[in-house]
Amino acid sequence: MNSSPRAFLLGPLLKGVSRSFYLTLRILPGAMRDPIGLAYLLARAADTIADTSLVSPQRRLDLLLSLRAQVNGTRDDHALRQIANEVAGQQAQPDERKLLESLGDALAILPQLSASDSAAVRDIVTTLTTGMEFDLRTFPDETSGQIAALKQFDELDRYTYLVAGCVGEFWTKMTYAHMPGTLKIAQEIMLKRGVRFGKALQMTNVLRDCARDLRIGRCYLPSSMLARHGLEAENLLQQDVFVRARPVLAELLQHTLGLYQDAIDYTLAIPRGQVRLRLACLWPIMIGLETLVLLAQNHAWLDPERISKVRRNDVYRIMAASLPMVASNGLVRNWAVRRMNMIQAEINAVGRP
């Protein structure tokens, strides 16, 4: 049995911290798994640092920037010990603690990859941590009782690129690098679709998690959009605001549907015989659209006790449903159109008496 640190990190530990993503990773072609798995582990560690509210925001930022510097080649064992001592001990999940304590081993994998894969992993982790840095610099301490909102839609669009659109870009680069000739469409087109694919998934997260984010002082709904409907971020915490805020939800749902259309086009550009690669793209689309259906139909979408989340059993149902249709462009499109029409019907109903 291979018990090397690399095998442990990219096997049992990755499975322990990635939950559903591990299922996607396991069906990928073998050559893509290590760079994507390592990128996930490093990004997950960075995200854990950024989200550990028992550590002050400024200290989290310092540790995050230190980790980014190490990803880019500046090894600092003292900084790694500080992360382990200050952040790992705050984690309730053993696998999260182990990941933070194993960052030295994870960083040691980077030079073992090919030069192009190593550069791509460094690039994606740098971009993702820039998104985390944006959060820490933009929003107040979670315990302050204050709330801040993004100002313009362009800020939200940039944020969704930094934390997810760049992942679609990275995924696409890995596909062209490790499966040459698989994608027949020009790389430039697929890269743009990949970015919009990632943005679609992050917009889904933003809308789904809005109620909980508001309660830690983060409003990703731009204040310029809220103002058009006579709202400010603080108003979204009120019990009677659900109906007044639905036009904002409808506008952002409409935008997100456009992103999902490109995600579907991206997936259907993958040859039908590449079932593993198709499934790796189809599953997040199906889960994302099911989430948007729940969200569009949830008239109490800003109630933190009524979050629109696909249940674990439904995830397995979705995965099972994907198998007979994954190789058929028509079946995939028909499934997606039905969900998108359900969402569109709710959007169209906003403002009707």
Pairwise CA distance, residues 234 & 97, whole Å? 35
Is the model's pLDDT at 2 over the cut of 70? no
Pairwise CA distance, residues 143 & 191, whole Å? 39
Q: Which domains does the chain have, with CATH numbers?
A: 1-119 (no CATH), 139-353 (1.10.600.10)
Beta partners for 219?
149
**Alpha-carbon distances of 176 from 97, 179, 183, 283, rounded to whole Å:** 34, 5, 7, 21
Query: What is the model's pLDDT at position 32?
Result: 87
Percent of the chain with pLDDT over 90: 84
Instruction: Quickly state the pLDDT bin for 129 (edges 50, 70, 90).
Output: very high
**Contact 280/28 with Cβ under 8 angstroms?**
yes
Which amino acid is it at 214?
L
pTM of the predicted structure, to 2 decimals: 0.93
Instruction: Quickly state the pLDDT bin for 3 (edges 50, 70, 90).
Output: low
User: Helix, strand or coil for residue 305?
Assistant: coil
pLDDT: which is higher, 8 or 220? 220
Average pLDDT, the chain: 93
Is the model's pLDDT at 353 over the cut of 50? no
Is the model's pLDDT at 220 over the cut of 70? yes
